[in-house]
Structures are given as structure tokens and as C-alpha cells.
A and B are shown apart, each in its own frame.
Chain A
Amino acid sequence: MSTYKVIFTGPVGAGKTTAIASLSDKPPISTNEAASDMTANRKSETTVAMDYGILYLDSGDALHLYGTPGQERFDFMWDILTKGGLGLMLLLDNRRKNPFGDLQFYLDAFSDFIKETGIVIGITGMDIKPQPCREEYCAEVEKHGLNIPVLEVDARNKSDVSTMLEALLFSLNPT
């Protein structure tokens, strides 16, 4: 059985926990399961503060969904968390003060990972605060020379999150 993983990141409140819960086949947890998975050959179980969910595949494999941990955007261990990841699901919260600053920060912080894999951006909270609009995000992203999926997402809506993940996978390989 192979395991694969996708990383969810974004500022606090952007909807990482909710998005992972929307997709996960098991009630998502932020602790022991994730630790025992990542430390499969260890006896003692560690408690790790990160979001974790799992999607079982009909091939018998599993897709692990990890959210970057931490209370604020300056976080740590992202390089370890992303290792072996298929790609990045970046959630940005339109309700925040400076969402383009957040965008810039996460594109920079994950630049190596993004280059090696792929990224999709989901903008949440647009039902509450519609401005800036999606097109403005696209324009920001284009300044980075990227033409990547930028989607309006409500993290509570499973079909939105699912479409976001599909867009990520297809942008990795459309064929």
C-alpha cells in the first residue's frame, strides 16, 4: 500500500481545518493519528499539532491530507511536512486585512516546493467579503509568472474543496 499526501496551508482562519474535514473519510484529527503515521516505526506516540485527514482510494492506497501547523504565518517545519507531497493547497482568507501580503508570503515560503510540484489557490470568505475579487488575485499571481488555478472556495463546501484538489491534480498532469 502506498501513501501519498497533499499539503494544506494558509493563514489562521483561512479554512484549513475545515477543508481537510470536508474531504476526509475519517473524522479529522490534529494529533495522534498523524504522529503515528509519520513515525510509523517508532514505539512511543508523539502528539503533533497539525491537521490531518485521510482519503481512502479504491486502489487500496491512501491520500493523506496535512495542514500546516501553527498559530501564525511564521511557522516552522514546513520543509519536513511538504517532503514527498504531491502539491500545495493554499487557502487565503478574503476577510483578512492584507490578503495579497498573505499570498506573497506563502508563495515565497513554499517557492521550492511549488516549483517542484504544483499549487492551487482557494480564496475563502468571499461570501462575507467579496473584495478583492478573484481576478485581482489572478493578476497578483501572474506577477509571479504563474498561471495556476485560483478558485473561489468555501471550505465548508465539500464540492468546492474537491474541485480545488482536482484542479491541483490536473495541473500536475492533465493527460
Chain B
Amino acid sequence: MATDHREAEQPVNTSDSDFQEDVEFVETNCVPGKCNSAVFDTTDELDDLTLNLANGVIQNHRGTITSLIRKRAKRSNTLKDEEADQDLANSIASEEANSIEQSELSSELSEDENVKNGLEDLSLQDTESVPEESPSVTLIPSSSETDYVNSLEWKQQKKHIFILSESGKPIYSRHGSEDKLVTVMGVMQALVSFVQDDKDNLRSIVAGDHTFVFMNRDHLTFVGVTRGRESTQQMLLQLTYMYNQVISVLTHSTLVRTFKQHRNFDLRRPLSGAEKFFDNLLNLMDVEPGLLLTSVRCLPLDSSVRDIVSQTIVQHAKVKDLVFALIIAQNQLVALVRMKRYYLHPMDLHLIINLINASESFKAAESWTPICLPKFDATGFLQAYVSYLDEECQSCLLLLSVDIEAFYTLSECRAKIKERLDRYNALTAIGNSLQRHSYSVQQCSIGDLRHFLYKARSTAQYTSPELGPPYNTPEQQDRLFGLYHFLHDKVHSVSRPLKLLYHVGKYETLLGWVTQGFELYAVFGPLVTKNVAIHAVNKLLRWIKREEDRLFILSSVTF
């Protein structure tokens, strides 16, 4: 299907031809944030997407949790034949539990789904006997919700995201209630199936200034409709995040088994109460470049403070079966400690950040909740202990374990960690850093540089200054984000990837530069020449290099 390259704006003077020869002018030995020992799982999702979609296979990470649990079981056997029924706890995180959960889901479903859903959604009633039929489109109740999805306002939303089941059953819509969108989703599923009948896959449709992007995974169809700057590839990445969010709530095993047993299953039931996570994730994607770059943003912090924080965690949360311990403050990573040999993927971290970001409930009390991290292991749950460390609820501690009984132990760890961090003034230091709002671009003292994103590829982390004028209104921020999407797409273009892109737009000049070690996206005033821009980014790289200890986590801390 068609791919579409939209210009950033009416170009005054575009020269986005290949500037590979210019790479010689610049010093490439300066790679700020470079690190030899891996901090995160750095597999690049965008590469993965391109590769996997081409092959038609999407890999799922699996088995990690099972092997951790086996290790745990072995250990407790050799220690002592303790409570045999501890296995109940273990199994919940593993495959077996999924089947328990599953059988409960489906048995219950047969009992009261007909009664309950039958009243709300008549289209469900006959699907059981006629599974091939696409959903009934006759049921269009009139209400304000219905009016909304037929309104101009709905049509003019910048980005729509839909999730539907293989049988065309609505599961999620970003704008408007999904059950008022039976018709629209029916049409979408019809399009998808029509192309699939020819053993082909519908990837995207361009209609006017809208791009429709489709992704099929595990009996689900994800549809993104945008009139923004996102390329098909970037939309696919966003849909992948949505898919990962589904997995994070249900696990891959449950999802697949559910649909295998019951093709017309209404997935909204097990997802109920999780709608907020989808909405919030989409909002996050519109403002947080880390998701586009599949990289992590660290809270700028003196490395001595960060060391204190992570060493405190190592000392006071040295608990068996604890896989990851991390502190997050305002969507930024403060510290991460991991079990040896196990890595956290930035995409999983974004789901964790989304969990914290979307929910006020963690502020009220300590929580203990299952979470599946699809990149870590899509088949099972980790148990997350979640608690804020300060009165203002800024620094959030997360302890992720495979031991479902560990709550009280981890709660004690939290008390010790909090006490130590208070004593060392580390929480105050975190608070101060949050108050300072990262750093302004002026601090880099590079004339005409307005904003930038810098990603260190070897550490999967990125840094960028706060949004200052002229990007201090939501409209301008949105526009800036569009420019980054444009630049990012050009340098990642499947058909013609560029190493260096210099683009003169109406309001600003853009420079994108990708090397083995980093990705840099810089935005200048409109009058900057190519030479000046290249000179400036070199200076910028040196500035980031000087600040790298504060901006990045450069050494990996393990238990």
C-alpha cells in the first residue's frame, strides 16, 4: 500500500538530499552518553518492526519469568521443603495461572455474558452461531455519545486509535465510546479481511490528509488514523505500544488462549478498569519523545547523588527474586537496579511510567499489583510493589519481583530505603532537580539553537532541554513535535535512510544526524546556514559530553 512522505511545511528552501559527504566535516569520535556495559535492553523497536513486518513474524519474548520461578523453586527445595502451597503463589505469575484465569474467564462468560451483554449489545447474540458474520450494523442507539461520534468535532480529531477484535468487535477507541462505533469498526474489519482473503495484508491507506495505518496481531486489529506528521512506520510504532499495553494488562498467553477458545470474546471485560492506561499512553506519545526514540529519559542528577540512590537500593532491597528496582520521578528515571543478566527494555519502562502516570491510586497507599512487561516476558506477570517515597508524591519506588508473597518484605525494604534517602538528603536533591525543570537550551550557550533531542544508542537513553519560547504553547509544542517526527522519519526511512539531513523550513532550520553511536535532532532559527548548523551540533555534542554524568545513567547497577 501507499507510503506517504509529507513535508514538514511549505519549504522555502529544502535541501534534504544526501549529505553523506558532509559527515567528514564533523568529528564522530565524540559520543556523549556512550557506555560499554549495557544499562538497558537496547534492541531498537523500529528496526524490529521493519524486519518483522517484512518477514511477517512478530517475535514475543517468553520464558524469562518461568525460568526465574524454576530457579526459585529449586532454591526453596534445596533449602527446605517449606510450604508446598507456595507454589500457588509462584504459579500465578507463570503459564499455569494463565490457564486458570482463562478457564475462569471463559466459563463465567458462558454463564452471564448472554444475559449481561445481550442487553447492551445485540450484535453479540448471534455471533456465536454465525461466527463468520461481521458485526451487526443495525444497532445505532441515539444518545449524545452517538451524536458525538457523528459530529464534526469527532471527525476532526487529530489522531484516532481503534482496537477491534478479529470478528470486528469494538474494543477501544481513543475518542468517543467504542460501542457507538460498531459501524466504523465493522467497515475497518471488512477492509482488513478483504485484503487478507487474497493472502495479503492491509498496511496503510492515504485518504486526503488522513493516513490510516493497520496492524494485526494475535487476533486483534489496531487502527491508527492521523492527519499529523507521523509516518506509517511511526504510526506502527504507536500501535505497537498499544498492543504492548494490552499484553501488559492481560499477558500474551491469556490473550491468545482467550480468542482461541472463544472467537467472539468481548475483550472489554478483562480490560475494564484499564481504559485509563490506553488513553494516558496515547497522550504520553503526543508529548514524550522517549516513546518515539524508544529510549529512556533520566532525571538530571549529580552522579554522586544517583550513586547514593542506587547503592541504597542495592543494600536495602537485596531480596531474592527481586528482578528490577527503580525510582521514577515525573516520567523520568532516577535510578535502576537490576538482577544480574536481566535487562529492562525502554518500551517496558514506558509502560511502567504510564502505569504510574495514569493512576492516582498509588499516591494513597502502598500497592501490590501484577504487571506484564512484554519485552521482558510476554507470557507472565511480575508482581510490582509500588509506593511513593515523599509526601508530595514525586518520587515513586517500584520493586518488581517474581515472588507473589514478597509484599511485606518489600514494604520493609521501602521503609529502610526511604529512611536512608531522607538521611542522605537524596529525596531533597531529587525534588530540587524536578523543580529546576531539567535545563534550558540557553545553558548549552549555542546561539540560534532552539531545541534538540539527543539519543545515545548504546545506552538507549536520550536527553533534551525543557521547552522554552517559542515552544511554550501547546500548539507550538505540537508543531515542534511534528518537526521531530518529520526528521526522525527522514533519517529512518526504509527506502532511503539518511545519515545527515539539513532542512530549511519556513520557521526553523532542522538538522538530523544519525551515527552508530547516537541520533541527534536539532532545531535552529530559520537563518542558520548548513556550516553554522554543523559547527553548532559539534559544539552541542561537546556540551552534552561534559554533562553526560548528570544526564545519563552510564553504569549499570545490579543486586
Instruction: Tell me whether A and B are bound partners.
Output: no
